[in-house]
Amino acid sequence: MAVADVPVADTLGRPVRDLRISVTDRCQFRCTYCMPREVFGRDFAFLPRAQLLTFEELTRVARIFAGLGVRKLRLTGGEPLLRRDLDKLVAMLAGIDSIQDVALTTNGALLAQKAKALAAAGLRRVTVSLDSLDDATFMTLNDAHFPVARVLEAIAAAADAGLAPVKVNMVVRRGVNEQSILPMAAHFRHSGHVLRFIEYMDVGTTNGWRLDDVIPAAEIIAQVGGQWPIEPVAPTYPGEVASRYRYWDGAGEIGVIASVTQPFCRGCTRVRLSADGQLYTCLFAAAGHDLRGPLRSGASDQALREQITAVWARRTDRYSEQRTRRTRQQPVRPKVEMSRIGG
């Protein structure tokens, strides 16, 4: 059997199922928890265009991963909709045999104008980030003076384009937007969309993370459930990142992503490709594996497959589980390239 037809497993028996592709390291927002202006200011050296993988290169890598077991692709960034003609890439990826799902995580700024073309190209799902319904709070967080109304319009436009239900990601940071938890839940009840609360993650020295800033998912669930009774729902698929809950009164469901307090490394089937072609087997991996070099120096599909298979087969990552244990004693700072965070 050709290597292409053999699903791979890592040292903990985890298959590779989801490929998160960062299509750009740039973003118009300067979210304080993600790309703070002090670090990503005017002088920050973003990648020159020539260093980004082309659509053809991205599609080639995705096709090889599909042969190794990947079924879902998610486009992220930076802000993926800043990459010109993204709908063309979506169409190329959606055309790969055995890829069942192409999804996108976006801040929504450019989504209203692009949703129809993306859906027509084969995008199946969209996740939109929104951290508050209160303009002052949201603008403090996005640090780009971007109003809530534009994100809500983007969510509506995505639904109109056939991308409903939309997932809405809210990063919760203590003392910053915790007062937005219940208004956000109230707003998205009965909307058909799925609000997901994300524990504020440590992304290295850039966002000044402290454990005290994290509102544990259990606290969020208690807060929402105290207002509108909820019950857990079984995961949609093995390894699902969000824990799901449904409202008793039929108003829909919410999710929590508890990567800090309840790490889910054991079921992690995700691999990440940075905009410049580095492969990361964990969001917090210290180093990536270069694919752009081989891609641009004439490596065959077979050689690329063998390289990727070897990387995945050696994978031992359990960063978040180990960090949770260590944090109780002495925090260890990871170093995360932000373009690797995918929703």
Q: Which residues lie near ligand SAM (CB under 6 A)?
A: 27, 33-34, 76-77, 79, 105-107, 129, 169, 171, 198, 200-201, 203, 207, 338, 341-343
8 Å CB contact between 131 and 170: yes
Residue with tokens 């909307």: 191
* 165: preceding bond cis by omega (within 30 degrees): yes
DSSP letters spanning 84-107: TTHHHHHHHHHTSTT--EEEEEE-
Q: What number of H helices and E strands is found in the chain?
A: 10, 12
**CB of residue 170 to ligand SAM, shortest distance in Å:** 8
**CB of residue 46 to ligand SAM, shortest distance in Å:** 14
Between 10 and 18, CB nearer to ligand SAM: 18
**CB of residue 75 to ligand SAM, shortest distance in Å:** 9
**CB of residue 168 to ligand SAM, shortest distance in Å:** 9
Between 255 and 343, CB nearer to ligand SAM: 343
The C-alpha atoms of residue 227 and residue 23 are separated, in whole angstroms, by 40
Can you tell me whether residue 128 is helix, strand or coil?
Answer: strand
Between 8 and 82, CB nearer to ligand SAM: 82
Q: Give the distance from CA 13 to its chain's centroid.
A: 23
**CB of residue 203 to ligand SAM, shortest distance in Å:** 5
Between 35 and 121, CB nearer to ligand SAM: 35
Can you tell me whether residue 285 is helix, strand or coil?
Answer: coil
Between 28 and 307, CB nearer to ligand SAM: 28
Helix (H) or strand (E) holding 296: helix 292-296
**CB of residue 172 to ligand SAM, shortest distance in Å:** 9
CA-closest candidate to residue 57, choices 271, 276, 270, 272: 276
Largest CA distance in the chain: 59
8 Å CB contact between 108 and 150: yes
Between 169 and 281, CB nearer to ligand SAM: 169
Between 105 and 309, CB nearer to ligand SAM: 105
Tokens of 290: 């270069």
**CB of residue 298 to ligand SAM, shortest distance in Å:** 32
